[in-house]
């Protein structure tokens, strides 16, 4: 079973468009660091994703882990929010197979550590290519409008091309 570690953004935005279940379909288990749990469920209790992530933890497919490498975490905190820093630190510490990150800065730093990555758009592309979603465009539009997710126009068009739309 691959070790997949997620940041808040991917969880929140997929939950907002009712596609959080794609994560369990693709990866069986998702690991999140403590800061992500706090951001999504505890601090975000009335926002999209909170109830869904809490339910996923109760069902056992979202697991919480704490960071051991405080030195790396402090280093990453210079450039990243706590959740993103914990995702990358935990991924480095545990030699993760994949990290789920959406923010550009976090993705760039993940590249420095040679961490394989994807995000909400990548998950939707994969779901479309594997036939779990009939088309991508309505999903991306929902992500933008209902999910409040900013997708740059070049990325939007590139994603559509990737699935032949």
pLDDT in tens, 53-88: 999 999 999 999 999 999 999 999 999 999 999 999
Q: Using an 8 Å Cβ cutoff, are 128 and 37 in contact?
A: no
Phi, psi (5° rounding) for residue 102? -115, -30
49: confidence class by pLDDT, cuts 50, 70, 90? confident
Please report the pLDDT score of residue 44 as a whole number: 84
Confidence of residue 46 (pLDDT cuts 50, 70, 90): confident
120 phi and psi, to 5 degrees? -60, -45
Residues whose CB falls within 8 Å of the CB of residue 123, separated by 6 or more in sequence, listed in order: 10, 14, 19, 22, 23, 26, 100
The pLDDT assigned to 52 comes to 94
Q: Could you count the other beta carbons within 10 Å of the beta carbon of residue 75?
A: 15
Beta bridge partners, 4, equal: 98
Q: Give the pTM.
A: 0.94
Interval 98-121 mean pLDDT: 97
Q: How is the chain split into domains, by residue range?
A: 4-121
Give CA angle at 54 (33, 104), nearest 5°.
45
Question: CB of 20 within 8 A of CB of 14?
Answer: yes
In this structure, which topology does domain 4-121 adopt according to CATH? Rossmann fold (3.40.50)
Does residue 124 have a pLDDT over 90?
A: yes
Mean pLDDT for 109-129 is 97
- The residue among 44 and 131 whose pLDDT is bigger is 131
Between helix 153-162 and helix 137-145 the angle, nearest 10°, is 150
The pLDDT assigned to 1 comes to 82
pLDDT tier for residue 147 given thresholds of 50, 70 and 90: confident
- What pLDDT score does 111 carry? 96
| pLDDT over 70 percentage in the chain | 100
Res 45 pLDDT > 90: no
- Report the pLDDT value the prediction gives residue 146, as an integer from 0 to 100: 87
Strands, DSSP E only, in 13-140?
Answer: 30-33, 62-65, 98-100, 117-118
């Amino acid at each position: 079973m691959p070790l997949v570690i997620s940041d808040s953004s991917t969880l929140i935005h997929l939950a907002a468009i009712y596609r959080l279940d794609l994560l369990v379909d693709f990866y069986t288990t998702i690991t999140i660091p403590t800061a992500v749990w706090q951001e999504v469920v505890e601090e975000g209790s009335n926002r999209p994703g909170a109830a869904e992530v809490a339910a996923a933890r109760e069902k056992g497919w979202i697991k919480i882990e704490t960071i051991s490498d405080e030195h790396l975490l402090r280093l990453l905190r210079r450039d990243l929010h706590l959740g993103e820093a914990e995702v990358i630190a935990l991924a480095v510490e545990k030699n993760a197979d994949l990290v789920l990150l959406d923010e550009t800065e976090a993705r760039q730093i993940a590249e420095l550590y040679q961490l394989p990555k994807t995000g909400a758009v990548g998950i939707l592309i994969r779901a479309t290519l594997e036939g779990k979603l009939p088309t991508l465009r309505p999903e991306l539009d929902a992500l933008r409008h209902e999910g409040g997710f900013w997708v740059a126009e070049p990325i939007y068009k590139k994603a559509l091309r990737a699935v032949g739309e």
